[in-house]
Amino acid sequence: MNVQKRVIDVLITVEPKLAEGVDFTASTTIAALGIDSLKLVEVGVLLEDAFGEDVTFDDWLDAERQLGDSEQAFALGSLVGFIEKAVKE
């Protein structure tokens, strides 16, 4: 399963305008994609559905919150890496 593609598909499902020429990179943040807190809940629900009980989206959110206001917080690369690690374990 291509985790990155699956994550991007979920993001586009939640925010359809992202289908139009958005450059998804590892450093792209959730906020930069215009995903607000409620849509983020939906992202989490869809990702947990997609990847099963190995993935607890809240765990990723808690870890990212530790980064505070860092520009690295809530980046796609981190989310993809988190899911890849979770499904391998």
Partner 1 sequence: MPYKIRVVSSYIYKRADVSYADMGKQNRWVNGFVSALVRRKSGMREFDLQFVRTPDTHEELCVLADEFRREGVQMLICPGTDSAIRVAAAVQDLPIIYFGAHPENNGLELIEQRNVTGIRLNLPMIWNWENFKLIKEVMPKLRKLYFPLNLRSEFAFPNVRSNYRLFRARGDAFWIPGDSTHIGYRSVAFLADRLGVEYFEGPYDSLAELESGLSQADTTHAAFTGFNDTVLQGAAAAALIGFTREHNQPLLWVNNAAIIQREGLLDYSSDFEGVGKIVGTMALDFLREGRPFESLGFREDPGHKTALSLWRCRELGLEVPQATVDKMNQVFA
For position 39 contacting partner 1 by CB under 8 A, the verdict is yes
Query: Strand (E) positions, the chain?
Result: none
Q: How far is the CB of 27 from partner 1 (least distance, A)?
A: 25
Q: What are phi and psi of 29, to 5 degrees?
A: -95, 160
Decide whether 9 or 15 has the Cβ nearer to partner 1. Answer: 15
Q: Residue for token digits 């989490």?
A: 44
Q: How far is the CB of 29 from partner 1 (least distance, A)?
A: 19
User: Among the candidate windows 1-9, 13-21, 25-33, 73-81, which touches partner 1 by CB under 8 A?
Assistant: 13-21
User: Among the candidate windows 23-31, 34-42, 71-79, 80-88, which touches partner 1 by CB under 8 A?
Assistant: 34-42
Q: Residue for token digits 């981190």?
A: 78
Numbers of helices and strands, H then E, in the chain: 4, 0
Token pair for 55: 């993935």
Q: How far is the CB of 42 from partner 1 (least distance, A)?
A: 5
For position 30 contacting partner 1 by CB under 8 A, the verdict is no
Check if the beta carbon of residue 18 is closer than 8 Å to that of residue 11.
yes
